[in-house]
Amino acid sequence: MKNTIRLLAACIVIVTIVGCGAATIKPNYTSTNTDLLRIGGEKPEDKSPETINMGSYCLQVADQWKEAGKTPDNQIIWSKDTFRKVVPCQ
């Protein structure tokens, strides 16, 4: 019984060491839609507010880019916030 427990413990240790030593998967920091997310570089330019006529009311849409963190290799992650508000039509 003791030998079985020792063998099991040795197997667990070996599997753990092999698993930790294996190559990790390199993360992919890309986005197919660069209109929503960008990696690295300078802050993208904020789009000026746009007014859209929705028929019975108008909608003002403004986009703003913000720093949303960094990748493990220290590149800035830029994400876009979109703000909408109802405005009178002119």
Q: Count how many domains the chain has.
A: 1
Distance CA 44, CA 38 (A): 8
**Residue 60, pLDDT above cutoff 90:** yes
pLDDT attached to residue 15: 77
Among residues of the chain, what percentage have pLDDT more than 70? 86
pLDDT digits (tens, 9 = 90+) for 35-54: 888 888 899 898 899 999 99
pLDDT attached to residue 23: 63
Q: For the residues of the chain, what is the DSSP string, one character each?
A: -HHHHHHHHHHHHHHHHHHHHSPPPPP----S-TTTEEESSSPPPPPPPEEEE-SSSEEEEEEEEEEEEE-TT-PEEEEEEEEEEEE---
pTM of the model: 0.57
| Domain containing residue 30 | 2-87
Q: How confident is the model at residue 8 (pLDDT cuts 50, 70, 90)?
A: confident
pLDDT attached to residue 64: 94
